[in-house]
Structure 1
């Protein structure tokens, strides 16, 4: 079967619709799904009808919006249950979260997003933020600390390839994004980690509008295939002091990254889709 058959294209578009739902779990209308996927509203309506029938979407209260249904979570849980990295890393990550009283996430790439595959939450994060920062969360690679740290861990030629795609998608915000990326990479050169301040809207859609979450992230490689990943600590704070947070968090974060590198060294697994 060739890559561009109607069946393959339909499957790809159906997956685009499912990927349009973000960690804020807000229900979406067909118009919002069309905007996020770049598909026509008529195509979205056909796809949502099929996904409703198959149990991957359901109507939200009121009936005009859609939300993810249990079929999606069943697939995701099956993957998590079978993933040796998530199983092995979670206790170590939770220990760091408890020690710092913050949220901790280990993420891998999923197209131009970062997918959290293991997480832990301590302190205020355990009560307030674990849904947004938990396993299965998608965060934009371009404008989060965990995404920028992952990019820095790539070979230079591969990093440039991703940057070209990210800047193309950013469109009018490309210049601002380029400067933010360069600043993050300079931090990574100097400190081995980068920081960002994020809002829920920023984490879901784009660049910073106001800051209520402070994140520190660094790259690491794990498994026999030395798969690039990123590890981040996120604080729940109305006005995060990034310099103080870095001084407190970075030694512990670096130590945990080293522990994970050793712990996961013998695991034979690649990123989702490989």
Structure 2
């Protein structure tokens, strides 16, 4: 199973989780998957989550959540706040993230290029990768001379509506992409709304062959335009994505198509193997 695959474990304790095709059930540890699902329940801006929050976000039974939360607290991945009766992420999670960031040579190489890029275009430039059904920021550098919107490291973006997510979808295999788009549409609410988001992503993906990048014009946020370019990390071969975002009110579509996109494609070629 690919390292980036995330399995849905939203099943009761008496049910087996729905596993992707090709997963060997004999080797799959359900308890571990559920524990990681609990940690993934935290979103940008979340400080404390209670058992009800975990149940609502993971679909796991309350009894299972209680046991998992206790175990993760004992191991140092969660901290229980007695005053609020809720859990916060603890240092164990930080150490895991630091291991990833510290071990990413490409990130170290990219930082000075990203600073120069942000200064030149007057916007925010980010480096990210896939994490489950989201894209996660490994680094963001903002322009010092312009008002820009840039999320911090560890922030997550919708794979359907963000330029970064669309760029990642554009370079993975066709069958894998369609399966993922179906899953993303369901996660986005299903029905007509989820299908509309998936179709919008498909249109950008289809244009990738000619553009060499993917755009998001007011799709992720009503006042944010963005462009993203994928490239393979020379160190381990995984797909990383550069994105550049700025206020739609001052950086229109033409700015991103004519000025920002060519520079971002050049940056991707400089740092890795761009598609």
**Is the shorter-chain TM-score for this pair beyond 0.5, marking a shared fold?**
yes
Q: Which has the higher contact order (CA 8 A, sep 6+)?
A: 1
- Determine whether 1:151 maps to 2:162: no
**1:47-83: CA deviations, max 9, x gaps?**
2222223222234695144332222112211222122
SS at match of 1:28: coil
Map 1:154-233 onto structure 2 (within 5 A).
154-170=172-188, 171-172=190-191, 173-197=193-217, 211-223=222-234, 226-233=237-244
- Determine whether 1:38 maps to 2:59: yes
Aligned residues: 248
Partner of 1:259: 270
- Determine whether 1:87 maps to 2:105: no
- Determine whether 1:22 maps to 2:40: no
Structure 2 length-normalised TM: 0.77
Residue 152 of structure 1 and its aligned partner are, at CA, apart by 0.4
Structure 1 length-normalised TM: 0.77
CA distance in 1, matches of 2:69, 2:149: 29
Do the aligned partners of 2:148 and 2:246 also contact (CA within 8 Å) in 1?
no
CA distance in 2, matches of 1:60, 1:191: 50
Which among 119, 135, 159 is matched to residue 141 of structure 1? 159
Residue 28 of structure 1 and its aligned partner are, at CA, apart by 2.6
* Pairwise CA RMSD: 3.0
Residue 146 of structure 1 and its aligned partner are, at CA, apart by 0.2
Structure 1: gaps (5+ residues)? 199-206, 265-274
Structure 2: gaps (5+ residues)? 1-24
CA distance in 2, matches of 1:216, 1:24: 24
CA distance in 1, matches of 2:207, 2:119: 26
